[in-house]
Amino acid sequence: MDIDKTFTGLISGAKKFAHSALDAHANDDEEVFLLHAGVSIERLAKAVLAKRSPFLLMEMKGNDDALFQIAGLEQATKIRTIGAAQAIVRLKRLGILPQAKDADLDELIELRNGVAHLLASHDGSFDGLTVFAKTTTTLLDAWGKYVAEQYWGPHYRLVELTLNEAVEKAARHFHRLIEQARYRLAERTNDLPPAAMKAYVEERSQRTALTWPGSRSVSLPRKCPSCRNFAALFTSAPVLIRRGSPAEAFPRRLFCLVCHLDLRTAEDLASAGMDRRVPLVDLKGERVLTEAEEILWHQLSDGGDHENVLDIR
Protein backbone atom coordinates (compact mmCIF):
# COMPACT_ATOMS: atom_id res chain seq x y z
CA MET A 1 0.00 0.00 0.00
CA ASP A 2 1.37 3.42 -0.98
CA ILE A 3 1.15 5.31 2.32
CA ASP A 4 2.00 8.74 0.85
CA LYS A 5 -0.70 8.28 -1.77
CA THR A 6 -3.19 7.35 0.95
CA PHE A 7 -2.37 10.53 2.91
CA THR A 8 -2.64 12.68 -0.21
CA GLY A 9 -5.92 11.16 -1.30
CA LEU A 10 -7.57 11.51 2.09
CA ILE A 11 -6.46 15.09 2.73
CA SER A 12 -7.26 16.34 -0.76
CA GLY A 13 -10.67 14.68 -0.59
CA ALA A 14 -11.34 16.26 2.79
CA LYS A 15 -10.44 19.68 1.40
CA LYS A 16 -12.62 19.21 -1.70
CA PHE A 17 -15.67 18.25 0.37
CA ALA A 18 -15.00 21.07 2.85
CA HIS A 19 -15.22 23.59 0.01
CA SER A 20 -18.35 22.03 -1.46
CA ALA A 21 -19.95 21.95 2.00
CA LEU A 22 -19.32 25.66 2.52
CA ASP A 23 -20.49 26.44 -1.02
CA ALA A 24 -23.74 24.70 -0.15
CA HIS A 25 -23.97 26.56 3.18
CA ALA A 26 -23.60 29.88 1.34
CA ASN A 27 -26.52 28.86 -0.87
CA ASP A 28 -28.70 27.69 2.06
CA ASP A 29 -28.58 24.08 0.88
CA GLU A 30 -28.55 22.43 4.29
CA GLU A 31 -28.75 18.84 3.09
CA VAL A 32 -25.69 19.13 0.85
CA PHE A 33 -23.86 21.05 3.58
CA LEU A 34 -24.49 18.34 6.18
CA LEU A 35 -23.62 15.53 3.80
CA HIS A 36 -20.39 17.06 2.51
CA ALA A 37 -19.30 18.42 5.91
CA GLY A 38 -19.63 14.95 7.38
CA VAL A 39 -17.69 13.37 4.52
CA SER A 40 -14.96 16.00 4.87
CA ILE A 41 -14.56 15.34 8.58
CA GLU A 42 -14.48 11.58 8.01
CA ARG A 43 -11.72 11.85 5.40
CA LEU A 44 -9.69 14.32 7.44
CA ALA A 45 -10.08 12.13 10.54
CA LYS A 46 -8.83 9.13 8.59
CA ALA A 47 -5.90 11.15 7.22
CA VAL A 48 -4.82 12.05 10.77
CA LEU A 49 -5.16 8.42 11.90
CA ALA A 50 -3.26 7.12 8.86
CA LYS A 51 -0.46 9.57 9.55
CA ARG A 52 -0.04 8.04 13.01
CA SER A 53 -0.32 4.50 11.62
CA PRO A 54 -2.22 3.12 8.60
CA PHE A 55 -3.29 0.21 10.81
CA LEU A 56 -5.57 2.63 12.70
CA LEU A 57 -7.83 2.63 9.63
CA MET A 58 -8.51 -1.09 9.90
CA GLU A 59 -11.84 -2.55 10.91
CA MET A 60 -11.32 -5.14 13.62
CA LYS A 61 -13.40 -7.82 11.94
CA GLY A 62 -13.54 -9.81 8.73
CA ASN A 63 -10.63 -11.56 7.02
CA ASP A 64 -6.95 -10.66 6.92
CA ASP A 65 -6.93 -9.07 3.45
CA ALA A 66 -6.91 -5.50 4.78
CA LEU A 67 -4.10 -6.34 7.21
CA PHE A 68 -1.80 -7.62 4.48
CA GLN A 69 -2.71 -4.83 2.06
CA ILE A 70 -2.21 -2.02 4.58
CA ALA A 71 1.10 -3.62 5.59
CA GLY A 72 2.17 -3.46 1.93
CA LEU A 73 2.59 -7.22 1.72
CA GLU A 74 -0.10 -7.65 -0.92
CA GLN A 75 -1.39 -5.49 -3.74
CA ALA A 76 -4.12 -3.19 -2.47
CA THR A 77 -7.51 -3.85 -4.06
CA LYS A 78 -10.56 -2.73 -2.12
CA ILE A 79 -9.74 -2.10 1.52
CA ARG A 80 -12.65 -1.77 3.91
CA THR A 81 -11.83 0.85 6.55
CA ILE A 82 -13.58 2.21 9.62
CA GLY A 83 -16.40 4.74 9.36
CA ALA A 84 -16.58 8.28 10.71
CA ALA A 85 -17.89 7.33 14.15
CA GLN A 86 -15.11 4.80 14.80
CA ALA A 87 -12.48 7.20 13.45
CA ILE A 88 -13.68 9.80 15.98
CA VAL A 89 -13.53 7.23 18.78
CA ARG A 90 -9.91 6.42 17.91
CA LEU A 91 -8.96 10.10 17.67
CA LYS A 92 -10.39 10.64 21.15
CA ARG A 93 -8.41 7.70 22.43
CA LEU A 94 -5.27 9.27 20.98
CA GLY A 95 -6.11 12.58 22.66
CA ILE A 96 -6.44 14.44 19.35
CA LEU A 97 -10.13 15.25 19.72
CA PRO A 98 -11.52 16.40 23.09
CA GLN A 99 -12.18 13.47 25.42
CA ALA A 100 -15.41 14.84 26.85
CA LYS A 101 -18.55 13.64 25.11
CA ASP A 102 -19.19 15.87 22.10
CA ALA A 103 -22.92 15.67 21.41
CA ASP A 104 -22.67 18.27 18.63
CA LEU A 105 -20.05 16.33 16.66
CA ASP A 106 -22.04 13.13 17.16
CA GLU A 107 -25.12 14.91 15.85
CA LEU A 108 -23.28 16.20 12.77
CA ILE A 109 -22.21 12.67 11.88
CA GLU A 110 -25.72 11.34 12.56
CA LEU A 111 -27.24 14.06 10.38
CA ARG A 112 -24.73 13.27 7.62
CA ASN A 113 -25.84 9.65 7.77
CA GLY A 114 -29.46 10.76 7.89
CA VAL A 115 -29.11 12.84 4.72
CA ALA A 116 -27.57 9.85 2.99
CA HIS A 117 -30.64 7.81 3.96
CA LEU A 118 -33.22 10.59 3.54
CA LEU A 119 -33.86 10.80 7.29
CA ALA A 120 -32.02 13.96 8.41
CA SER A 121 -33.91 16.09 10.93
CA HIS A 122 -33.07 18.48 13.77
CA ASP A 123 -34.89 21.13 15.79
CA GLY A 124 -33.23 24.13 14.14
CA SER A 125 -30.94 24.95 17.08
CA PHE A 126 -28.04 22.84 15.80
CA ASP A 127 -25.10 24.96 14.63
CA GLY A 128 -23.48 22.64 12.11
CA LEU A 129 -21.13 25.30 10.74
CA THR A 130 -19.48 25.89 14.11
CA VAL A 131 -19.13 22.16 14.79
CA PHE A 132 -17.64 21.63 11.32
CA ALA A 133 -15.18 24.55 11.65
CA LYS A 134 -14.02 23.62 15.17
CA THR A 135 -13.54 19.91 14.44
CA THR A 136 -11.75 20.55 11.16
CA THR A 137 -9.42 23.09 12.80
CA THR A 138 -8.51 20.60 15.55
CA LEU A 139 -7.78 17.89 12.99
CA LEU A 140 -5.73 20.24 10.82
CA ASP A 141 -3.62 21.16 13.85
CA ALA A 142 -2.99 17.44 14.39
CA TRP A 143 -2.15 16.96 10.71
CA GLY A 144 0.44 19.73 11.03
CA LYS A 145 1.15 20.52 7.38
CA TYR A 146 -1.78 22.60 6.18
CA VAL A 147 -2.09 26.31 6.86
CA ALA A 148 -5.73 27.08 7.64
CA GLU A 149 -5.99 29.76 4.95
CA GLN A 150 -4.63 27.33 2.36
CA TYR A 151 -7.11 24.63 3.39
CA TRP A 152 -10.24 26.79 3.53
CA GLY A 153 -9.43 28.94 0.51
CA PRO A 154 -12.15 31.51 -0.25
CA HIS A 155 -14.10 30.41 2.85
CA TYR A 156 -11.27 31.23 5.28
CA ARG A 157 -12.77 34.50 6.53
CA LEU A 158 -16.15 32.89 7.23
CA VAL A 159 -14.48 30.09 9.19
CA GLU A 160 -12.40 32.56 11.22
CA LEU A 161 -15.48 34.57 12.14
CA THR A 162 -17.33 31.39 13.08
CA LEU A 163 -14.50 30.21 15.34
CA ASN A 164 -14.18 33.61 17.03
CA GLU A 165 -17.89 33.63 17.77
CA ALA A 166 -17.63 30.09 19.18
CA VAL A 167 -14.82 31.15 21.54
CA GLU A 168 -16.81 34.16 22.69
CA LYS A 169 -19.88 31.99 23.24
CA ALA A 170 -17.88 29.48 25.32
CA ALA A 171 -16.41 32.31 27.41
CA ARG A 172 -19.85 33.81 28.01
CA HIS A 173 -21.20 30.43 29.11
CA PHE A 174 -18.27 29.90 31.46
CA HIS A 175 -18.69 33.32 33.08
CA ARG A 176 -22.42 32.70 33.53
CA LEU A 177 -21.60 29.49 35.40
CA ILE A 178 -19.17 31.41 37.61
CA GLU A 179 -21.70 34.10 38.49
CA GLN A 180 -24.45 31.54 39.14
CA ALA A 181 -22.18 29.62 41.52
CA ARG A 182 -21.24 32.80 43.38
CA TYR A 183 -24.90 33.77 43.72
CA ARG A 184 -25.85 30.33 45.07
CA LEU A 185 -23.02 30.45 47.60
CA ALA A 186 -24.06 33.91 48.78
CA GLU A 187 -27.66 32.75 49.20
CA ARG A 188 -26.59 29.83 51.38
CA THR A 189 -24.04 31.63 53.53
CA ASN A 190 -25.01 35.31 53.83
CA ASP A 191 -26.48 34.83 57.31
CA LEU A 192 -23.63 32.72 58.67
CA PRO A 193 -21.31 34.27 61.27
CA PRO A 194 -17.61 34.32 60.32
CA ALA A 195 -16.73 31.26 62.43
CA ALA A 196 -19.54 29.20 60.90
CA MET A 197 -18.58 30.35 57.42
CA LYS A 198 -14.98 29.29 58.03
CA ALA A 199 -16.12 25.88 59.27
CA TYR A 200 -18.41 25.48 56.26
CA VAL A 201 -15.58 26.18 53.83
CA GLU A 202 -13.09 23.97 55.66
CA GLU A 203 -15.51 21.06 55.75
CA ARG A 204 -16.27 21.22 52.03
CA SER A 205 -12.92 22.16 50.55
CA GLN A 206 -11.26 19.27 48.71
CA ARG A 207 -7.61 19.48 49.79
CA THR A 208 -6.85 15.78 49.49
CA ALA A 209 -6.36 13.75 46.33
CA LEU A 210 -8.56 10.66 46.15
CA THR A 211 -8.34 7.55 44.00
CA TRP A 212 -11.20 5.52 42.56
CA PRO A 213 -9.82 2.07 41.63
CA GLY A 214 -13.15 0.84 40.24
CA SER A 215 -13.14 3.44 37.47
CA ARG A 216 -9.34 3.96 37.55
CA SER A 217 -10.00 7.65 38.10
CA VAL A 218 -8.46 10.25 40.40
CA SER A 219 -9.84 13.43 41.97
CA LEU A 220 -7.24 16.14 42.47
CA PRO A 221 -7.54 19.32 44.57
CA ARG A 222 -7.75 22.40 42.35
CA LYS A 223 -8.58 26.04 43.09
CA CYS A 224 -12.18 26.80 42.18
CA PRO A 225 -12.35 29.64 39.62
CA SER A 226 -15.54 30.88 41.27
CA CYS A 227 -15.03 30.91 45.06
CA ARG A 228 -11.23 30.29 45.08
CA ASN A 229 -11.54 27.42 47.56
CA PHE A 230 -10.39 23.91 46.72
CA ALA A 231 -12.59 21.94 44.35
CA ALA A 232 -12.25 18.36 43.06
CA LEU A 233 -10.91 17.80 39.56
CA PHE A 234 -11.88 14.35 38.31
CA THR A 235 -9.61 12.74 35.73
CA SER A 236 -9.41 9.76 33.44
CA ALA A 237 -7.04 6.87 34.05
CA PRO A 238 -3.35 7.63 33.36
CA VAL A 239 -2.80 8.24 29.65
CA LEU A 240 0.83 9.41 29.54
CA ILE A 241 3.59 7.68 31.49
CA ARG A 242 7.20 8.83 31.35
CA ARG A 243 10.14 7.52 33.29
CA GLY A 244 10.93 9.69 36.30
CA SER A 245 7.75 11.82 36.09
CA PRO A 246 4.23 11.44 37.49
CA ALA A 247 1.66 10.08 35.06
CA GLU A 248 -0.71 12.47 33.33
CA ALA A 249 -4.45 12.10 32.71
CA PHE A 250 -7.26 13.90 30.95
CA PRO A 251 -9.35 16.29 33.08
CA ARG A 252 -13.03 15.32 32.91
CA ARG A 253 -14.94 17.38 35.42
CA LEU A 254 -14.36 20.02 38.09
CA PHE A 255 -16.87 20.18 40.94
CA CYS A 256 -16.73 22.47 43.95
CA LEU A 257 -18.58 21.39 47.09
CA VAL A 258 -18.32 24.92 48.49
CA CYS A 259 -20.09 26.92 45.74
CA HIS A 260 -21.35 23.99 43.62
CA LEU A 261 -19.62 25.14 40.43
CA ASP A 262 -19.78 22.20 38.03
CA LEU A 263 -17.64 22.23 34.86
CA ARG A 264 -18.34 19.20 32.67
CA THR A 265 -17.33 20.10 29.12
CA ALA A 266 -13.96 20.49 27.43
CA GLU A 267 -14.85 24.10 26.59
CA ASP A 268 -15.69 24.98 30.21
CA LEU A 269 -12.52 23.32 31.53
CA ALA A 270 -10.43 25.13 28.92
CA SER A 271 -12.07 28.44 29.88
CA ALA A 272 -11.03 27.71 33.47
CA GLY A 273 -7.41 27.46 32.29
CA MET A 274 -7.20 23.69 32.50
CA ASP A 275 -4.42 22.01 30.53
CA ARG A 276 -5.31 19.24 28.08
CA ARG A 277 -3.53 16.75 30.37
CA VAL A 278 -2.84 17.15 34.09
CA PRO A 279 -0.18 15.44 36.25
CA LEU A 280 -1.53 13.09 38.90
CA VAL A 281 -0.02 14.87 41.91
CA ASP A 282 -1.36 16.25 45.19
CA LEU A 283 -0.98 19.79 46.54
CA LYS A 284 2.60 19.02 47.58
CA GLY A 285 3.47 17.86 44.08
CA GLU A 286 3.76 14.24 45.17
CA ARG A 287 2.48 11.27 43.17
CA VAL A 288 -1.10 10.22 43.87
CA LEU A 289 -0.49 6.74 42.47
CA THR A 290 2.61 4.60 42.78
CA GLU A 291 4.57 3.94 39.59
CA ALA A 292 3.23 0.38 39.58
CA GLU A 293 -0.36 1.63 39.94
CA GLU A 294 0.12 4.14 37.12
CA ILE A 295 1.25 1.40 34.75
CA LEU A 296 -1.40 -1.08 35.89
CA TRP A 297 -4.26 1.42 35.64
CA HIS A 298 -3.07 2.46 32.20
CA GLN A 299 -2.83 -1.11 30.98
CA LEU A 300 -6.24 -2.05 32.38
CA SER A 301 -7.92 0.87 30.60
CA ASP A 302 -9.40 -0.69 27.47
CA GLY A 303 -10.65 2.57 25.93
CA GLY A 304 -14.26 1.63 26.55
CA ASP A 305 -15.01 5.20 27.59
CA HIS A 306 -13.00 6.44 24.58
CA GLU A 307 -10.91 8.65 26.82
CA ASN A 308 -7.56 6.87 27.02
CA VAL A 309 -4.53 7.41 24.85
CA LEU A 310 -1.75 4.87 24.39
CA ASP A 311 1.19 7.23 24.73
CA ILE A 312 3.65 5.52 27.07
CA ARG A 313 7.17 6.88 26.64
212 part of a folded domain: yes
User: How many domains, in total, are found in the chain?
Assistant: 2
7/118 same-domain check: yes
Predicted local distance difference test score (pLDDT) of residue 103: 79
CATH of the domain at 118: 1.20.120
Q: Which residues of the chain have pLDDT under 70?
A: 1-7, 60, 62-63, 66, 70-72, 74-79, 99-101, 114-125, 301-313
Question: Cα 194–196–201 angle (5° rounding)?
Answer: 95
Alpha helical stretches, state H, the chain: 3-26, 30-52, 65-70, 84-93, 103-116, 128-143, 148-152, 156-189, 194-204, 266-271, 291-300
186 part of a folded domain: no
56/141 same-domain check: yes
46/127 same-domain check: yes
158 part of a folded domain: no
Predicted local distance difference test score (pLDDT) of residue 133: 94
201 part of a folded domain: yes
Alpha-carbon distance of 292 to 282, in angstroms, equals 17
Domain range for residue 104? Answer: 3-146
Predicted local distance difference test score (pLDDT) of residue 312: 35
**Predicted structure pTM score:** 0.68
84/201 same-domain check: no
Alpha-carbon distance of 88 to 45, in angstroms, equals 7
Own/partner pairs, 144-149, CB within 8 angstroms, 24+ separation: 146/11
Q: Tens of pLDDT along 220-248?
A: 999 999 999 999 999 988 988 888 899 99
